Each structure stands twice: as C-alpha cells, then as structure tokens.
Amino acid sequence: MTLAELIGFVMIVSLVLYALGAGADFGGGVWDLFASGPRAKRQRELIAHAIGPIWEANHVWLILVIVLLFVAFPPAFAAISVALHIPLAVMLVGIVLRGSAFVFRSYDIQTDDVQRRWSRLFAVGSIVAPIMLGVCVGAIAAGNLRVHAETGTVETNFISQWLGAFPFAIGLWTLGLFAFLAAVYLTNETEEEELREDFRRRALAAGLAVALLALVSFVLAETGAPLIRRGLSKEWWSIPFQIATGLISVSAMGAVWRRRYRLARVLAMAQIAFIIGGWGLAQFPLLIGPDLTFTNSAAPDSVLRALVKALVAGAVLLFPSLWYLYRIFKNPVGR
Amino acid sequence: MAMSLAFHIIFAVVGIAMPLMMVIAEWKWLRTRDEIYLTLAKQWAKGTAILFAVGAVSGTVLSFELGLLWPEFMRYAGPIIGMPFSLEGFAFFLEAIFLGIYLYGWKRVSPRAHWLAGIVVAFSGMLSGVFVVTANAWMNTPAGFEMVNGKPVNIQPIAAMLNPAALQQVIHMTIAAYAAVGFAVAAIHAFMLRRDARNPFHRRAFGIAFSLGALMALLQPLSGDFLARQVFRNQPAKLAAMEGLFKTETRAPLHLGGWPDEKTGTMKGDIEIPSGLSLLVYHKPEGEIKGLEAFPRDQWPPVAVVHLSFQIMVGCGMLMMLAGFIGGWLAWRKNSPCDRKWFLWLTMLCGPLGFVAIETGWTVTEVGRQPWIIYGIMRTADAVTPMPRLVVPFIAFTVLYIFLAFVVIFLLKRQVFQSPKNFGEPERKKA
C-alpha cells in the first residue's frame, strides 16, 4: 500500500464514520419532520435527546475528509469543487440550516409554534444535505469528470455532470439509508415500548425504500454510470462482496422485524460500511474517474508523510476522546 | 468568501475566548462553592453553545469555499499549507467532543471531570485558531517550498506552517480574540448593571470578563509592535500602505488619520508626527523605510482601504487599552468599577470595538497583501474559480448569514440578558 492509498483508505473510513454518525443525525431530522401520531412530541424529544451532545463531533468527519482531499489530492479537490460547485453549495446551505436550526430550537422559547418553525427548518436542512451529498457521490461514481492531464483543468459546464437520474437516485438512496440508520438507532435509545414500536415501523418503511432505491440505482447505472457498474464485478471477490452486502442489508431488516434491536444496530452499521467500502473498492484505483487516480493526483511524498504523522498523532487524541463522549451519552442503552 | 470569513471570524473568536471565561467561572465555583459562579458558568455555556454551533457550520462552509472559490489556489497551495488545516481539524474535533460533554454532561460526570472537559474546549479552541492563523500567515510570507519552473517542489509542510509571520500573527490574533470577547461580554453585563447595580451575578461576570479583556488589551500593543516589524521586514509594501507612506524616507513620519490620495501620492488631513514611523520600526528616530514609490504601481494594495482600516484598528485598541487602564486603576484604589455609571458607559462603548478592531485588522492583512493571494507568488485574479455568475451563491450565502446573525442576536438577547436572582441553596437561606 502506498502512502496515497493509505490516505485514501483513511478517507473512506472517515466517510463511513461520517455516515454512521452525522448520517444518522440527518436521519433524525427526517423523522423529526415525519413525527406523527399521539407521540409526535415525544418522538421529537427523543431525537433531540439522542443527537444533542454528539452531532457537532460527528459533523467533523466531513471536514476531515475535505481537508484530506485538498491536502493529499489537490487536483481532485479542485476538479470536484469546480464541477460540482452547485450541489456542494446547496449541501452547505442544508448543513448550515440543519445545525443552526437545531441549536436555535433548543435555546429558543419552548412554545409550540416557535418550536415548529425551527423543527421545519431543521428537517428541511436534514433532507437537503444528504440528498446533495449523495448526488455528489453519484456524480463522482459515474466517472464522467474529465480532467485535462496537462493543465489539470476540469471540463465541465457546471451542470451536466450531476444533473441526471443516476446521481439523484444515489441522493435519494443516501437519504433513505440515513433515515433507516437513524430509526434503528432510535429504537435503541428509548425504554418506552410504544416509542420503540414507532421507530420500528419507521425503520421497516425506510428499509423497504432503501432496497427499492438500490435496485433503481443499479438499473440506472447501466447507462448513467458504466464505470461503477463495471467496477462492481471486476474482481473475483467483487460478486461475493456484493452478495455479502445484500445479505447484511436483508438481515438488518430481519433483525428490526424480529425486534432484535441491538443486533439490528450492528447490522445497519455494517451495511453502511459495506456500501461505502464497496464503492471505494469498485472505483479503485480511480479517485475521480476517468482521469484522476489516487497515484497521479497525489501530493508529493514529503507532504503525504507529514500528513500521515499528523493523522497518527491526531488519532491518538481523537479516538479516546470519542470513546469517552460515547461512553457518557450512549451507554448503557436508553439512559 | 470574504463575507463568509468576516462572519466566521466573529464566531471563531467567540469560540476561542468564551470557553476560557466559562472555565474561569466554573473554577471559581469549584474553589469557593459560590453558586453564583456556577450560574454564571452555565449562562456563559449557553451563549457558547449557540455561537459555537453557528461557528462550526460556517467553518464547514469555509473549508468547502476554499475549493469552490479558489480551486487554483488550493490545487497549488493545498499540499503546502495542509498541515495546519489537518491539525486544525483534530483540534476542532476535540473542541466539539468536549463541548458536547460540557454542555450536556453537567449531571453525567464529576464536577472535576466536567471542569477538565471545559479546559480541553478552551485549549483546543485556542489551538484551532492558532493553526488557521499560521495558514493565513503563510499567504503573507510563503515558506517551506522551492519554485522550479513555476511549480512548487521540495515541499516541507512543517516549515511552511512555521513561516516567518506565523508567530507574530498568532500572538496578535489570539490576544485580540480574548480582548474583544472579554470587552464584549463585560459590556453586556455593564448594560445590565446600569439598571441593576447590586446584582452579584452581573458584578462577578463583569469582574471576570473585564479583567480578561483589560489584561489582553494592555498586552496587545506589544504584540502589535512585534507584528508590525515583521511586516516591515517581509511585506514592505503592506507597511507603506498601512501607514500611508508614499515616499521612501530615512526619518519617516507617522501619519495619524487622514486620507491617502493614490493619484497625487500625498496624505490629506492627517496629523504628522515627524520620525514617528522610523521610531516605531527601528526603535530609534533614524532608519530608512520604503514608501509606496519604491514598488511598481501594479503591486500597490488599495492604499486608502488599508490605511483607514489600520487607523481604525489602532484607534479601537487604544480606547480599549485606556478603558482597561482606568478599570485597573479604579480596582486598585478599591473603588469597584461596577459602581461608576460613567465607567459602565465607557465599557459599553468599548464592547463592540474589539470586534471592529478584529475585522479592520483582518482587512489590513488581507487587502494589504493584494494584488497577491500568495505574497509575491500568485495573484488573486489567477486563483479564482472559472465558475460564471458567482454573484448568485454570494448573495445566497450573504442572505443566509444575515438571517443567522439576526437569530443569534435575538437568542442571545433572551438567553444572556437575564438577571438571575436565585443561586441554589445558599442564596435562598440568606433570603
């Protein structure tokens, strides 16, 4: 493994952790919007209680991915920033709205109409951001970003690379996955049987939507993203890997169905990790297809070496702190 | 981008300084078990929570905007200045984690552990500021690489981070953050004290905030001198613009105020102190300082903006220093500054000045570097994105930020402008 590949691996891991943490926080926003029935208020409280202490820390993974991208693979960062300017900007608006509305809601007066207004904004942000994140991922996976080898400029009209059926299918799929993940987490966050049932039903509904969107994306990939479609079956282990991902997804649904919530949480997390990891493997060694690979877009070795050292030093501080945070707020279950 | 930065800098600064005050208040509580300090720490924590969240999301926008607006700059400079940004990422991570523990963990961890979490927040907040400023300093004094055929080679990230301007800029900015926030918070409590003069909550709050602000304001000229002499060595054109110096002189005068006219190359309406500038730079009345005439016309920064911003920054700093000095003197004479109406007014006047100084000071360093984005190496015009109609996202983000700013002010007003009367058990017993 070269240094560039190592950093690429760290980026994928960070992306997985972002999806597992912040993804579920976005999903919480979705369920805030769809809070309904006699327990709507308690559903919202549970969501707020679950994500309150941790969402800001979860959010930092995305910043880490971006920083790694521009430090280690500057041409890739420049290409994405230019070609995907519009969806990225919209995603940022979503992120800003989500985060600030959430905090404003907890510190604004607790009357219903004020709370509802912030909830609405929080929910809209939580829906827009993952869709746009998915659109960007879809656009990258489609592999249509031509980058000029000599000048490093990207050929784009700023629109056609992402405005298509495939990127948007991936966008919706991302939203569905995050909503599923959030609902599964939330079944683990409460001791109240009725609330738990509410989120069980929501998890099942989201799970079905995820399965459907996965199928749609796969079909659309035929024409919309031949690169990733080929990548999904290029090695001897590719097909078994896809089967494993599918099995895990089905088992996660099954665990929710049989009310094995702790197991469901583990499986849902594994599902996300497999999907993102599978995407990474499918397009490796390409970073931004079809022109930029992890090798040809990497910064000089002196930079990468220093970066790896910084990552190790940072990780030594980061992981114990994260562990401490989660131990305080997430264990034992339902406290 | 400038808009986002101007907005973010305020929240970032609050994120640096507010946790420190909150931790001081909690420390006082741990020491004295005076419940008022606990109430104060919690109150300040609320303000920190609101501002930090907005700072965090606006910071995210910035990390993307680097690429969205300056793709060429990032492609070129990303690897060189990546080190501080990576480290800043981790510092920010720690700040977010421990702020979560601090805000939501009052009942979940022991008081000591809680206070330590606050310390980590304050420290990592300061560190992330430090790292970002080193990256900015690199744009002023690029280092840690060699140019071969127009491409940077032999990149040494650590050397780039420790560039010649880094130390001076870091000290200046960190002190500025503490001074500005100290004065701003003191001003809020001064406002409340005007009506409710005996409220012990506001008296204690004022005490902590004003002491911090005053101490930092008194230190700031030293760091300013340190920084200005660095600018003189590395960016003479910027210094000339700051001081409105058009002609190269050996007994360079100091121009106070005034309007520099770029066309005629003269200063209008200023007060001139003979040899003043040479005295400041060389610490003796004689010494050559290059005026703008020594540089090609197309390498001048916009002189008027830079000079004016610089004057405003220095003026604000002087006033804050004066207030700090008077406050210290009153306290030394055992006259509580809280009992003097005029002094409360003075503090209120100084409240916004720290932030004015930060914004203008930042204008000096950024506009003063123009036309370069990387001083002497890359021009700003060459770094900007090819994306057309940039005005659309610009307006969108501006509207968004204005909206956020309004909400923040509104919420802070309700959360922070309160006069708590009950401070847990001990206070009630007295009553």
Range of the domain at B142: 1-146+390-419
Rounded to a whole number of angstroms, the distance from the CA of A104 to the nearest CA of chain B is 7
Is B104 within 8 Å of A72 when comparing Cβ atoms?
A: no
Q: Which residues pair with A292 in a beta bridge?
A: A288
Q: Which of residues 151-170 of A touch B (CB under 8 A)?
A: 152-153, 158
Is B413 inside any structural domain? yes
The answer to whether B417 faces chain A, any CB pair under 8 Å, is no
User: Is B423 a residue whose pLDDT tops 60?
Assistant: no
Which residues of chain A neighbour B103 with C-beta distances below 8 Å? 53
Residue B374: CA count within 13 A, CB half-sphere: 24
Which residues of chain B neighbour A103 with C-beta distances below 8 Å? 49-50, 53-54
The answer to whether A306 faces chain B, any CB pair under 8 Å, is yes
pLDDT (mean) for B246-260? 75
A225-238, pLDDT tens digit by residue?
Answer: 777 777 777 777 77
pLDDT (mean) for B229-249? 77
pLDDT at A3: 82
Tell me how far apart the alpha carbons of residues A117 and B9 are, in angstroms, rounded to a whole number.
28
Tokens in use for B166?
A: 């880094």
Is B170 inside any structural domain? no
Is B59 within 8 Å of A63 when comparing Cβ atoms?
A: yes
Determine the residue type at B49: A
Is B98 inside any structural domain? yes
Q: What angle do CA A202, A127, A271 make, to 5 degrees?
A: 55
B385-416, pLDDT tens digit by residue?
Answer: 666 666 676 777 777 778 877 887 777 777 66
The answer to whether B336 faces chain A, any CB pair under 8 Å, is no
Which residues of chain B neighbour A329 with C-beta distances below 8 Å? 100, 104-105, 108
pLDDT band at residue B429, thresholds of 50, 70 and 90?
very low
User: Is B425 a residue whose pLDDT tops 70?
Assistant: no
The answer to whether B108 faces chain A, any CB pair under 8 Å, is yes
**Average pLDDT over all residues of chain A:** 82
Number of compact structural domains in chain B: 1
Determine the residue type at B212: L
Q: What burial letters (b/e) apply to B330-356, b meaning 16+ CB within 10 Å? A: bbeeeeebbeeeebbebbbebbebbbb
pLDDT at B4: 65
Integer CA distances (angstroms), A16 to A127, A264, A272, B6, B102, in order: 19, 17, 7, 33, 26
Phi, psi (deg, nearest 5) at residue A106: -70, -20
Look at B263 and A198; give whichever has higher pLDDT. Answer: A198
Tell me how far apart the alpha carbons of residues B74 and A77 are, in angstroms, rounded to a whole number.
8
Is B184 inside any structural domain? no
Q: Is residue B91 within 8 Å of B127, Cβ to Cβ?
A: yes
Tell me how far apart the alpha carbons of residues A100 and B413 are, in angstroms, rounded to a whole number.
17
pLDDT at A118: 83
Tokens in use for B122?
A: 């304050």
Is A88 within 8 Å of B83 when comparing Cβ atoms?
A: no
A251-264, pLDDT tens digit by residue?
Answer: 888 888 888 888 88
Tokens in use for A266?
A: 């583990």
Angle, helices B35-69 vs B71-104, to 10°: value is: 160
Tokens in use for B311?
A: 């004057």
Is B52 inside any structural domain? yes
Which residues of chain A neighbour B82 with C-beta distances below 8 Å? 67, 70-72, 299, 303, 307
B325-384, pLDDT tens digit by residue?
Answer: 888 787 777 666 666 777 778 777 877 887 787 788 788 887 777 777 777 777 777 766
Provide ipTM, 2 decimals.
0.79
Return the percent helix, strand and coil in chain A, to nearest 5. 75, 5, 20
Is B47 inside any structural domain? yes
pLDDT band at residue A335, thresholds of 50, 70 and 90?
very low
pLDDT at A150: 64
Which residues contact residue A13 at a Cβ distance below 8 angstroms, ignoring those fewer than 6 apart? none
Integer CA distances (angstroms), B394 to A154, B15, B243, in order: 22, 25, 32
Is B89 within 8 Å of A93 when comparing Cβ atoms?
A: no
Rounded to a whole number of angstroms, the distance from the CA of B15 to the nearest CA of chain A is 13
User: Is B283 a residue whose pLDDT tops 80?
Assistant: no
Is B2 inside any structural domain? yes
Q: Is residue B58 within 8 Å of B4, Cβ to Cβ?
A: yes
A30-60, pLDDT tens digit by residue?
Answer: 898 888 878 888 888 888 888 878 887 888 8
**Average pLDDT over all residues of chain B:** 76
Nearest by CB to residue A107, choosing from B46, B93, B101, is B46
pLDDT (mean) for A19-30? 87
Question: What value does the CA radius of gyration of chain B take, rounded to a whole number of Å?
Answer: 23
User: Is B424 a residue whose pLDDT tops 50?
Assistant: no
Nearest by CB to residue A62, choosing from B60, B157, B386, is B60
User: Is B63 a residue whose pLDDT tops 80?
Assistant: no
User: In which residue are the tokens 């009153």 written?
Assistant: B330
Is B319 inside any structural domain? no
Is A317 within 8 Å of B94 when comparing Cβ atoms?
A: yes
Integer CA distances (angstroms), A69 to A15, A41, A117, in order: 12, 41, 36
User: Is A74 a residue whose pLDDT tops 60?
Assistant: yes
